[in-house]
Chain A
Amino acid sequence: MIDVLIIGGGIAGIETACSLQDLGYETVIVEKERTIGGHLNNWDTLFPTHRPASEVLEYYTEETRKRALTIYLNTYVTSIIKLDDGTFEVNTSRDVIFHSKTVVIASGYSLFNAERKEEYGYKIYDNVLTSADLEKKLKTLNGEFKTPTDKVPEKIAFIHCVGSRDEKSGNHYCSKLCCVTAVKQAIHMKQICPQADIFCCYMDLRMYGPGFEEMYREAQEKYHIQFIRGRLSEVGENADGTLQLKVEDTLAARPSKIKVDMLVLMVGMESPQSTALFKETCGLQCAPNRFIQPNDHHIGSNKTNIDGLFTAGTSIGPMSIFDTINHAKASAITIKNYLSRN
């Protein structure tokens, strides 16, 4: 019987495991991919400091190594069953059944599939990327930045709220981080392509965190990025591969057309399919946005409706990396209290 089984080896899962190990508990991490680190593996730099994501990843790799954490890679959970004695039986894809006193769901999020927003032309037009595609491209950038059709971009547009705050795409909620990510990416693009004109089409800019508003101001004043308040309605492709955007500028109260070389869609965060599976196998309660419903928004955000089943990180909703780390630490303390009580 292990003390804590952690589902997910991203930042949230590792931080929870490290903190619990330091408190003297035996933990096991189950990760579906072949490496730990989750989405961070695919990210180039982090807001608001533009620090390379690899630094954070290296830090956690080192912490994991130091503590010799038990991690099952390439393994995904197929069901969580709460037994009569209050412990958990967790079945996995590998014929390994774990028995554990507590379980932490740190399974994170999945990105909105931009193909569902067909009018934006993702996977139809070559020069339409998602924010995640751009990060991957930047991470492996070698030499000059070029668009997918091999052109040095002169005009780039970022579209906010793709699959967020959009009932028609099935997601009514705000993904919270895309705004600041767009600003970060826009600045980055301006830095590596100084000749390019950069546009951001937004509904609101939600610069909620420390340093975010400053970044936004810098983007306008220093980098001359143009912010257009209005949603993109549709995208067309020209013969030369450039894209024709139809946008309404709601501040100027007129429709406008922008021709760009590359379009970046700021895709939102969605609850991963695994959450729906957990909901089915152990009666986990989910919020209307399909993320896990915390037992108490204010004083029990790590708890779920099931005693002994905890959450860490974005499994309860969109969160930045620093919020995720704090949430994971809080999860460790909550679990410690639970285990010492029982």
Chain B
Amino acid sequence: MENYFILPFTLGMITLFVILFIKYGLWIARLSHIDKLRIIQCIFTRRTWDAIVESVMEGLLHRSIFKRNPLLGYMHMSLAFGWFLLIVVGHIEGFLCYGTFANAPWIPIFFQYFVHYQFPGERIMTNLMDFLLLFILSGVLLAYFKRLNSKIFGIKKTTKLKPFDKMAMIALWFIFPLRLFAESATAALYGNGGFLTNSVANLFILIHVTPTMESILWWAYSISLGLFFVGMPFSRYMHILTEVLFIFLRHYGIKLKKQFNSYSRIQVYSCSRCGVCIDVCQMHVANISNNQSVYILKNIRDQNLTDRKLYNCLLCGRCEQVCPVKINLNDLRISQRIRATKEYNSDYAFLQSLPNETPTTGKQPEVIYFAGCMTHMTPGIKKSIVKVLDKANVNYIFMDKEKGACCGRPLMLAGQYEAAKKLIDFNRKKILESGAPVLLVSCPICYKVFRDDYELGQITIKHHSEYFLELVEQGRISLKKSNSSIVYHDPCELGRGCNVYEQPRELLKKTGTLLSAKQEKVMSLCCSGSLGDLSLSMPDRNVIKAETLKVLLQKNPDVLATACPLCKKTFVKGVNIQVKDIAEIVANAME
């Protein structure tokens, strides 16, 4: 029979649905009991609607990529949204022709082949379909160019492909040109084309197209579709549908766990490898270009992730900021580290030797202050904090004044989850016993772990920049403005990590003239001192730091201000101007 050409498409589609059904079924089945309950509870709420909206905005329109790189965004949008519309309009066409939506799935796909006769709205529909095809073809053309020369898109480097990716990609490249040619051949024979297919059909008439040629083209179109469907679950195009699943689960409030689980896997498979994360990675400055998030996710899928790549990352979170799919790239990497690491064999016996009672102040304390290792290593900051607290008459407990345990964040970043938990339990007990309503920290590294992993209940955690601003607003301290110009560096853990951007700036504006930097707030650069990277060499760190300083010092400020002891320590050996923590600036500016 001449209609056999629908078989590659049909078999491909059935294979795809079976595989997806099994894969998604298993992933969802393996979610924790609580997560499943969450899904059931949320399914008939507004969250589903929000997820649908986001699926359209991101999965089809690719709004986030558009914002960062309009050309790349257009490419993704024309393919995704164009194809989606082609299917939808195809079904409408089927409805107009047959009076029902319950047509065989191949009808809308090969519509031109089956329907040569007139039906209501035929002219409009055919031209609309042609227009959509042209829209997609423009995207395909861009995809060709991107493969040939990614620089046109402003991308330094595009991702490497493996065999299934290549198969699916080549099939995808051919689908729409073949559809155009197949439809045009039919149009040449039967005159049922639109503005585009008729134009190509006119060329076909010149070379005397035959029904055999027509049949070959439809076969080729069907085969390329079939190949794409079969290759899809094993290639990067798996992201097309997984991303939608991920968007729904995210809206239902499912969170990434410390241990790599099926939700982590859904995130990994949601990566479209658009390459946006490659561009923002600072590692390029040091000529390191194999460890960016897109490669890590690919390595997780292919199960060939090396420790070298896994641990060579500043965990600055810039890639997470720009990821159009909003994958939790940092936490995913940490969960891989937890998986890859051998648990550090320590019983932390020294914790027993530390003073067990929480220090008290006699009356109800306002604040419990945890300085942490890094603040102890920068006594200038520690002294300033104490000075400000004393001046404002704050009734506080200095939790680790004499002896203390680490907050646990460095271990967490290294993937030493169990070890970190021992420290967390120790500190947590002390903080809760203190009875203070506020935990004050002067190190964003500690702040992050207190916020994410401590479960401190009613206690609010505040960075000193937040707390000092409150003290100023309450009139407990007052600051004198000098005429020095200040540029502020957002520490990764405080800014992207804990979302504190404005309070430090508000404080600095009260002490001097605040200058802006070219890349700041959510896109601020890492100082390179990060504890998150366990293998970056010192010379490489220095190269990255020099680049960051270049951006920060562009306007020749008098003072480089930061709010993290580690950033301060990192910068201080690279510049000739003053590097100060915001605590020191406030302590100096107090009247």
Chain B hits for A94, CB < 8 A: none
The complex places the Cα of A234 from the Cα of B376 at a distance, in Å, of 7
Option from A119, A167, A169 in Cβ contact (under 8 Å) with B379: A119
Interface residues on A, range: 10 to 19
Interface residues on B, range: 10 to 19
Chain B hits for A169, CB < 8 A: 573
Q: Min CB distance, B447 to chain A, in Å? A: 20
Q: Min CB distance, B338 to chain A, in Å? A: 27
Chain B hits for A167, CB < 8 A: 538
Q: Min CB distance, A243 to chain B, in Å? A: 10
The complex places the Cα of A233 from the Cα of B377 at a distance, in Å, of 8
Interface pair B379/A170, CB less than 8 Å apart: no
Asked if B383 lies at the interface with its beta carbon under 8 angstroms from chain A, I say yes
Q: Min CB distance, B242 to chain A, in Å? A: 43
| Residues 113-146 of A at the B interface (beta carbon under 8 Å) | 116, 118-119, 121, 124-125
Asked if B378 lies at the interface with its beta carbon under 8 angstroms from chain A, I say yes
Interface pair A237/B573, CB less than 8 Å apart: no
Asked if A211 lies at the interface with its beta carbon under 8 angstroms from chain B, I say no
The complex places the Cα of A237 from the Cα of B401 at a distance, in Å, of 11
The complex places the Cα of A170 from the Cα of B542 at a distance, in Å, of 9
Chain A hits for B376, CB < 8 A: 119, 234, 236
Interface pair A118/B377, CB less than 8 Å apart: yes
Binary interface encoding of chain A residues 89-130 relative to chain B, with 1 for a CB under 8 A from any of its CBs, else 0: 000000000000000000000000000101101001100000
Q: A167-B538, A168-B538 are in contact. Are A125 and B379 (CB under 8 A)?
A: yes
Interface pair B573/A118, CB less than 8 Å apart: no
Closest to B350 in A: A255
Interface pair B379/A124, CB less than 8 Å apart: yes
Chain A hits for B380, CB < 8 A: 118, 124
Chain A hits for B378, CB < 8 A: 118-119
| Residues 484-538 of B at the A interface (beta carbon under 8 Å) | 538
Q: Min CB distance, A332 to chain B, in Å? A: 36
Chain B hits for A236, CB < 8 A: 376, 379
Closest to B539 in A: A167
Q: A167-B538, A168-B538 are in contact. Are A116 and B379 (CB under 8 A)?
A: no
Q: Min CB distance, A21 to chain B, in Å? A: 38
Interface pair B383/A119, CB less than 8 Å apart: no
Q: Min CB distance, A173 to chain B, in Å? A: 13
Binary interface encoding of chain B residues 372-398 relative to chain A, with 1 for a CB under 8 A from any of its CBs, else 0: 000011111001000000000000000
Chain A hits for B538, CB < 8 A: 167-168, 172
Interface pair A119/B377, CB less than 8 Å apart: yes
Asked if B577 lies at the interface with its beta carbon under 8 angstroms from chain A, I say no
Interface pair B569/A170, CB less than 8 Å apart: no
Asked if A156 lies at the interface with its beta carbon under 8 angstroms from chain B, I say no
The complex places the Cα of A337 from the Cα of B383 at a distance, in Å, of 59
Interface pair A235/B379, CB less than 8 Å apart: yes
Interface pair A118/B569, CB less than 8 Å apart: yes
Q: Min CB distance, A278 to chain B, in Å? A: 18
Chain A hits for B542, CB < 8 A: 170
Closest to A170 in B: B573
Asked if B88 lies at the interface with its beta carbon under 8 angstroms from chain A, I say no
Interface pair B383/A116, CB less than 8 Å apart: no
Asked if B288 lies at the interface with its beta carbon under 8 angstroms from chain A, I say no
Interface pair B572/A237, CB less than 8 Å apart: no
Q: Min CB distance, B286 to chain A, in Å? A: 15
Closest to B374 in A: A119
The complex places the Cα of A147 from the Cα of B33 at a distance, in Å, of 66
| Residues 548-588 of B at the A interface (beta carbon under 8 Å) | 568-569, 572-574
Nearest 7 A-B pairs (CB), nearest first? A119-B377, A167-B538, A170-B573, A124-B379, A118-B378, A121-B379, A234-B377
A-B contact pairs, 18 of them (CB 8 A): A116-B572, A116-B573, A118-B377, A118-B379, A118-B380, A118-B568, A118-B569, A119-B376, A119-B377, A121-B379, A124-B380, A124-B383, A167-B538, A168-B538, A168-B569, A169-B573, A234-B376, A237-B379
